[in-house]
């Protein structure tokens, strides 16, 4: 894979906060090897929860064919629709997927993941892209992609890599990690004929803005969802949300909001963690040393300015819609007061309050991203220009002192 997009390399976290977070975690087992790398690389690994497996055995890469056949025969997921709860993705596979997603720009991309199952977890060891045609709203595989998939997996087996295809991944550029209606249909079909199978969604735009990989892993429910009537939405905030914050909130563009909520009850999300082997550690260090200059010299505000502009426009549309709802509620309240029919207004008021709360959180998210970009720019300016300015100022002060004597 040709590495030409500098912005896909893991961005460093500059500033005292990153140094304090790194110092507080250096004594944990996961960071014993990562701490030998450069501090920005170690910070990126901590932000994305990348753990080091046994450096002697690299156990997660050892495919046990007998254990895999036993798990496939037991089919525990057939009795429990939510049997799978965790996904562990190798650092190499993660970087491959992010770079592929970033290369697509505003178009969706698609690829497949290789690995195996271990109890209630998917273990993803590698990923490869598919030659598919993508649009801004969907990505479809065709006959060439199927042929490529078969040839690629056969070539892997000839090289001694016996892992099966355990899932597919695609991108949602700028509108978060969740499953659309077409995605739900695709994943349901895979689970019917290729189970166990996993769906992963990556948002490359938010990855660049946040400095942390924006990723979600999902599986769909059978028809209808177990214990749930058809058409009834799930009340679990974690299921089917692909949450980007600790409390489960995810900002979704106004144009995608209806579809985001329409299919949320048809799938659930899995917990994601990442790991790396000793070879992954070496490869990450090589990538970091190759691209660190470009990473430091670029600003996320400029690299991702198109996405930032779209966020501003979407936020303006949401504010306009919220203003319209407030005006409508005010007129309804006035009419209800005149007719003494106040019983129907509390529900409407509550809905408007929820909309306003989401709007405030959207504004906070956008402003925090902008502040982070500006602070990074100030740190870089002081780092590269401050020393020269201080030296010049000191020299001028010294010269002035000599002249005054």
* Predicted confidence (pLDDT) per residue in 14-44, tens digit: 445 545 544 454 454 444 444 455 566 666 6
Q: What is the pLDDT of residues 263-322, one digit of tens each?
A: 778 888 899 988 877 777 777 777 777 766 666 666 666 666 666 677 677 777 777 777
**Residue 1: helix, strand or coil by DSSP?**
coil
Q: In this model, does residue 104 exceed pLDDT 80?
A: yes
pLDDT of residue 26: 42
3-state secondary structure 135-182: CCCCEECCHHHHHHHHHHHHHHHHCCCCCEEEEEEEECCCCCCCCCHH
Q: In whole angstroms, how far apart are CA 311 and each of 256, 340, 364, 366?
A: 13, 42, 12, 7
Q: What is the mean pLDDT of residues 191-201?
A: 89
Strands 215-220 and 267-276: antiparallel
Cβ pair 171, 204 in contact under 8 A: yes
Q: What is the mean pLDDT of residues 192-217?
A: 84
Q: What is the mean pLDDT of residues 353-366?
A: 70
pLDDT of residue 14: 42
Q: What is the pLDDT of residues 213-244, one digit of tens each?
A: 888 899 998 875 445 554 444 434 444 444 44
Q: In this model, does residue 130 exceed pLDDT 50?
A: yes
Q: In this model, does residue 55 exceed pLDDT 60?
A: no
Enter the pTM of the model: 0.62
Helix (H) or strand (E) holding 127: strand 121-129
Q: What is the mean pLDDT of residues 102-114?
A: 86
- Dihedral angle computed from the Cα positions of residues 55, 57, 62 and 66, in that order, rounded to the nearest 10 degrees: -150
Q: In this model, does residue 183 exceed pLDDT 90?
A: no
pLDDT of residue 168: 92
Report the C-alpha gap between 257 and 184 in whole angstroms.
16
pLDDT of residue 219: 92
Q: In this model, does residue 81 exceed pLDDT 60?
A: yes
Cis peptide before 286 (omega within 30 of 0): no
pLDDT of residue 349: 59
Q: In this model, does residue 82 exceed pLDDT 90?
A: no
């Amino acid at each position: 894979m040709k590495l030409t997009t500098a912005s896909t390399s893991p961005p460093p976290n500059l500033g005292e906060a990153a140094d304090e977070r790194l110092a507080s975690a250096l004594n944990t087992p996961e960071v014993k090897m990562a701490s030998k790398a450069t501090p920005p690389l170690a910070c990126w690994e901590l932000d994305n929860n990348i753990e080091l497996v046994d450096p002697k055995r690299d156990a997660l890469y050892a495919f046990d064919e007998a254990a895999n056949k036993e798990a496939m025969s037991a089919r525990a997921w057939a009795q429990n629709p939510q049997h799978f709860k965790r996904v562990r993705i190798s650092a190499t596979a993660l970087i491959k997927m992010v770079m592929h997603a970033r290369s697509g720009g505003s178009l969706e991309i698609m690829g497949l993941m290789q690995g195996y199952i271990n109890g209630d977890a998917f273990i993803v060891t590698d990923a490869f892209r598919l030659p598919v045609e993508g649009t801004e709203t969907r990505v479809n595989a065709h006959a060439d992609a199927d042929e490529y998939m078969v040839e690629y997996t056969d070539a892997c087996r000839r090289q001694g890599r016996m892992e099966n295809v355990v899932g597919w991944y695609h991108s949602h550029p700028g509108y978060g990690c969740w499953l659309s209606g077409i995605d739900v249909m695709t994943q349901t079909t895979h689970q019917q004929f290729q189970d166990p199978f996993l769906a992963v969604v990556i948002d490359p735009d938010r990855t660049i803005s946040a400095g942390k990989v924006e990723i979600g892993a999902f599986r769909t429910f059978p028809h209808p969802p177990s214990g749930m009537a058809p058409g009834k939405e799930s009340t679990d905030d974690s299921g089917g949300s692909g949450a980007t914050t600790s409390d489960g909130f995810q900002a979704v563009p106004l144009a995608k909001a209806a579809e985001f909520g329409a299919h949320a009850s048809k799938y659930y999300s899995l917990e994601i963690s990442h790991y790396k082997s000793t070879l992954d550690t070496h490869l990450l260090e090589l990538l970091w040393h190759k691209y660190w200059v470009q990473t430091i010299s670029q600003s996320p505000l400029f690299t991702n300015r198109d996405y930032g502009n779209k966020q501003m426009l979407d936020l303006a549309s949401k504010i306009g819609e919220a203003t319209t709802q407030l005006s409508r509620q005010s007129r309804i309240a006035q009419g209800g007061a005149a007719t003494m029919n106040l019983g129907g207004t509390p529900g409407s008021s509550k809905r408007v309050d929820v909309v306003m709360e989401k709007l405030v959180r959207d504004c906070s998210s956008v402003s925090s991203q902008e502040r982070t970009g500006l602070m990074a720019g100030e740190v870089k300016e002081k780092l590269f220009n401050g020393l020269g300015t201080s030296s010049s100022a000191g020299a001028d002060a010294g010269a002035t002192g000599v002249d005054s004597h």
